[in-house]
Chain A
């Protein structure tokens, strides 16, 4: 069995909240450098799926492997896996009491035990990557949503993760701010960062994703390359969902 090819494997993930089964068995594999986009109507478990991957939400059933090491049931070692799996949130969740550069370097210092000088250099490098170096000494409350999201991407990048999870990174932003964040993400994808993106940005999904997974009711019901899925969706629901976007962009 070929196992080394994939850096992340997700197998048969189930999750229920009370009587509501949010995820009903989701499986997929991710190769290094791949960008996968998860699309679908709201409330179909896309965000829950991402949170299951780094165990912020513990799945009821199923396994996740990162480089052939099991992430599920890792016990205290979960903190190691979380260092290797970056995450970017819809509402940024920057640390309000720290400047942009402190936000990026704090985990380097506290978690990776990097010395402060090295951590500062690394943090400035990552801020520069997302075009936020000039804002290093500003506090989150002084940043626009787009800027805050770019800082939070830099914070995830600084850990040199194997994969970054993006949980609707632009859903809290207006179209103009969305564009600047999408630009950063597109750049990351082209630089070979492995990314799993839950998004409603069909433009990004179509142009940057290697694969699009359409989810509904806790299942991946269709998956394929952007051109396959957009031009020739097999399922009616997927067709209707994507059709809305076609109509929207005309």
Chain B
């Protein structure tokens, strides 16, 4: 078969379909993973003893559990106790657990680096702890956590390919189908790699733009 025809008629349409699923996985996971990561980081830094221990346990468990294994448990294990997820939902739940655990650690580190005195100054103005965390600590911590969160976001783009193992036909899955059917492994997988590279590049440019936009004037030396 003609190479050009294979690319334009078969591979690209399949990969575009897969890319849409990959982007959907990321689009659902990333915002929830970030919000949950913030909540866990705040809980672990400022919560009561019980909340601190729960957050610690969450982070230790999901940092320690291999993501692929987690997906197997969610997709193949949970139905045996009566809880059934679609493959897509199982993948998203697994990704959110992993993503939020790592994000929370980046954010926690950034929160601890915010000058303690500013929290004291906020209290001295009559702010409650909650007001001080929301208005003073988090706006600064989230800015400082951008490099870490960005790292985790780029990992997410790539580990989203694990969803293929639990039957989600995302980018890697759609490529595998085409490659097997037409016996075009090398060409297909190289092109898929370029697709991931393109997604990662766009994400990196976007994150850099955000980081620049929210940078505090005078704060970071050029």
B117 with A110: CB separation less than 8 A? no
Contact with A along B15-52 (1 / 0, CB 8 A): 00000000000000000000000000000000000000
Q: How far is A119 from B125 in the complex, measured between Cα atoms in Å?
A: 15
A97 with B143: CB separation less than 8 A? yes
In the complex, identify which listed stretch (B104-112, B128-136, B169-177, B199-207) lies at the interface while the others stay far away: B128-136
Q: A110: which of B118, B124, B127, B219 is its contact (CB, 8 Å)?
A: B127
A21: Cβ under 8 A from any B Cβ: no
Question: In the assembled complex, how far is the CB of residue B193 from the closest CB belonging to chain A, in whole angstroms?
Answer: 39
Q: How far is A91 from B124 in the complex, measured between Cα atoms in Å?
A: 14
The listed residue with most B CB atoms (<10 A of its CB), out of A94, A96, A138, is: A96
Question: In the assembled complex, how far is the CB of residue A59 from the closest CB belonging to chain B, in whole angstroms?
Answer: 16
Which residues in window 80-94 of A have CB below 8 A to B? 80-83, 85-87, 89, 91, 93-94
Which residues from chain B contact A96 at a C-beta distance below 8 Å?
115, 118, 140, 216, 219
B120 with A155: CB separation less than 8 A? no
Which residues from chain A contact B123 at a C-beta distance below 8 Å?
56, 82
Which residues from chain A contact B121 at a C-beta distance below 8 Å?
87, 89, 93-95, 152
B136 with A141: CB separation less than 8 A? no
Q: B135: which of A83, A110, A141, A152 is its contact (CB, 8 Å)?
A: A110
A54 with B124: CB separation less than 8 A? yes
B126: Cβ under 8 A from any A Cβ: yes
Q: How far is A54 from B128 in the complex, measured between Cα atoms in Å?
A: 14
The number of residues on chain B lying at the interface, defined by a beta carbon within 8 Å of a beta carbon of chain A, is 22
B131 with A110: CB separation less than 8 A? yes
Q: How far is A247 from B124 in the complex, measured between Cα atoms in Å?
A: 37
A89 with B127: CB separation less than 8 A? no
A106: Cβ under 8 A from any B Cβ: yes
Question: In the assembled complex, how far is the CB of residue A138 from the closest CB belonging to chain B, in whole angstroms?
Answer: 8
A111: Cβ under 8 A from any B Cβ: yes
Q: A107: which of B115, B126, B139, B143 is its contact (CB, 8 Å)?
A: B126
B217: Cβ under 8 A from any A Cβ: yes
A139 with B124: CB separation less than 8 A? no
Q: A141: which of B125, B126, B131, B216 is its contact (CB, 8 Å)?
A: B216
B64: Cβ under 8 A from any A Cβ: no
Q: How far is A96 from B110 in the complex, measured between Cα atoms in Å?
A: 14
A89 with B117: CB separation less than 8 A? yes
> Chain B: which residue is nearest A142 at the CB level?
B218
A79 with B139: CB separation less than 8 A? no
Question: In the assembled complex, how far is the CB of residue A13 from the closest CB belonging to chain B, in whole angstroms?
Answer: 18
Which residues from chain B contact A93 at a C-beta distance below 8 Å?
115, 117-118, 120-121
Q: A139: which of B120, B143, B217 is its contact (CB, 8 Å)?
A: B217
Q: How far is A82 from B129 in the complex, measured between Cα atoms in Å?
A: 13
Q: How far is A89 from B115 in the complex, measured between Cα atoms in Å?
A: 13
Q: A159: which of B122, B125, B218 is its contact (CB, 8 Å)?
A: B125
Q: How far is A73 from B128 in the complex, measured between Cα atoms in Å?
A: 16
Which residues in window 35-52 of A have CB below 8 A to B? none
A95 and B118 in contact, given A111-B131, A141-B219 (Cβ under 8 angstroms):
yes
> Chain B: which residue is nearest A109 at the CB level?
B135
Given pairs A93-B120, A94-B118, A97-B143, 11 additional interface contacts (CB within 8 A):
A79-B126, A79-B128, A80-B126, A82-B123, A107-B122, A107-B126, A110-B135, A141-B216, A156-B125, A159-B125, A159-B126
Please provide the 10 A-B residue pairs with the shortest distance between their CB atoms, ordered closest to farther.
A141-B218, A83-B126, A93-B121, A142-B218, A93-B117, A107-B125, A87-B124, A82-B126, A141-B219, A79-B126
Q: Can you report 22 residue pairs joining A to B where beta carbons are below 8 Å apart? A: A79-B126, A79-B128, A80-B126, A82-B123, A82-B125, A89-B117, A93-B115, A93-B121, A94-B121, A95-B118, A95-B136, A95-B140, A96-B115, A107-B122, A110-B127, A110-B131, A111-B126, A138-B217, A138-B218, A139-B216, A141-B217, A142-B217
